Chains A and B, each alone.
Chain A
Amino acid sequence: MARFRAQVRVQLRPSVLDPAGEATRAAAGRLGLEGLSRLRIGKAIDLELEADDRESARRTLADLCDRLLANPVTETWTCELQEAP
């Protein structure tokens, strides 16, 4: 077994309204910071897991993201996986 670390990012689909992101973007304008045209808020999830190999770890993560961490109706996910030192 090898140990892996992963960071999953869950983002709202582009078609889904993100009122929290929009309100935050507007607040940046009130700080006097100009030029911010897009701000979308998602989630970052750090994980550690054990698996036989990288491919097996990737499958476990994909299953986890598809079935729990993201709701496919409104969200997409990406994942960075690396072997733990």
Chain B
Amino acid sequence: MTVGIVVFPGSNCDRDMAWALQGCLGLPTRFLWHGDTDLAGVAAVVLPGGFSYGDYLRCGALARFAPMLKEVEAFARSGGPVLGVCNGFQVLTEMGLLPGALTRNRDLHFLCEPCDLDVQPGSCRLLADYNPGERVQFPIAHGEGCWQCDDATYAALEQAGQLVLRYRSDPNGSRGSVAGVCNASGNVLGLMPHPERACDPRLGGVDGQRLLRALLG
């Protein structure tokens, strides 16, 4: 039982994620190179933050062609837990595993600050250890985190309980202050805030620990 962290050219939160998973939580972890295809022994997959393929064309647009992501897509569609953080969230939307799209922050600033989030009632497996309505704090660090979708999609997602994390105070213009979205089956979660930066008490908070632990839950 290992958590796999996909490493793309341009990933820069892969080692933070490994530190949080293995260093702070003691979960077995290994890196999955984007060009490989071996998911043997991997029980959960994380797509980390960064700038995969330099964010060329659109954030996350080129990562979906990586050989490893063909495997990850099949893994996700068969119910395996997949977590995308920041650029990983952008990749999941470009792959079509999560709805909506991430665009430039409303005020164009790169935002790097702690953010209060409300956990919404929903069926996301990776948030099962949080109470609905619970407030948590994860840092954000992004320039393109404004989540958008059309009216019909938004209504359907809200109805289905897939808008699972919202900012207390919307920093980037996201529709409905949405910070995180899960798929209909609840096994794929994408969020712009960084739970891996809220796992070490020396960094000011450990609200992210339960989310990461749930990967091997």
Interface residues, chain A, CB within 8 Å of chain B? 12, 15-20, 23, 68-69, 71, 73-74
Complex: chain A residue closest to B58, CB-CB:
A71
Can you spell out 9 A-B residue pairs with CB atoms less than 8 angstroms apart?
A15-B150, A17-B103, A17-B148, A18-B104, A20-B108, A23-B108, A73-B99, A74-B101, A74-B148
Bound Cα distance from A15 to B107, whole angstroms: 17
B148:A19 contact, CB within 8 angstroms: no
Bound Cα distance from A17 to B94, whole angstroms: 19
Residue from B93, B94, B104 within 8 A of A19 (CB atoms) = B104
Bound Cα distance from A12 to B106, whole angstroms: 14
B148:A69 contact, CB within 8 angstroms: no
B61:A19 contact, CB within 8 angstroms: no
Bound Cα distance from A12 to B94, whole angstroms: 16
Say yes or no for B40: interface residue by CB 8 A criterion: no
Chain B interface: which size bin?
10 to 19
**Interchain Cβ contacts within 8 Å, total number:** 36
B57:A16 contact, CB within 8 angstroms: no
Bound Cα distance from A11 to B107, whole angstroms: 19
A66 to chain B, nearest CB (A): 12
Bound Cα distance from A69 to B94, whole angstroms: 12
**4 additional contacts, CB 8 Å, given A15-B150, A17-B146, A73-B150?**
A12-B103, A17-B173, A23-B108, A69-B57
Say yes or no for B12: interface residue by CB 8 A criterion: no
User: A73 — which chain B residues lie within 8 A by C-beta?
Assistant: 93, 99-101, 148-150
Interface residues, chain B, CB within 8 Å of chain A? 57-58, 61, 93-94, 99-101, 103-108, 146, 148-150, 173
A29 to chain B, nearest CB (A): 17
User: A20 — which chain B residues lie within 8 A by C-beta?
Assistant: 104, 108
Bound Cα distance from A16 to B146, whole angstroms: 10
Complex: chain B residue closest to A23, CB-CB:
B108
B146:A68 contact, CB within 8 angstroms: no
Bound Cα distance from A63 to B192, whole angstroms: 30
User: A15 — which chain B residues lie within 8 A by C-beta?
Assistant: 150
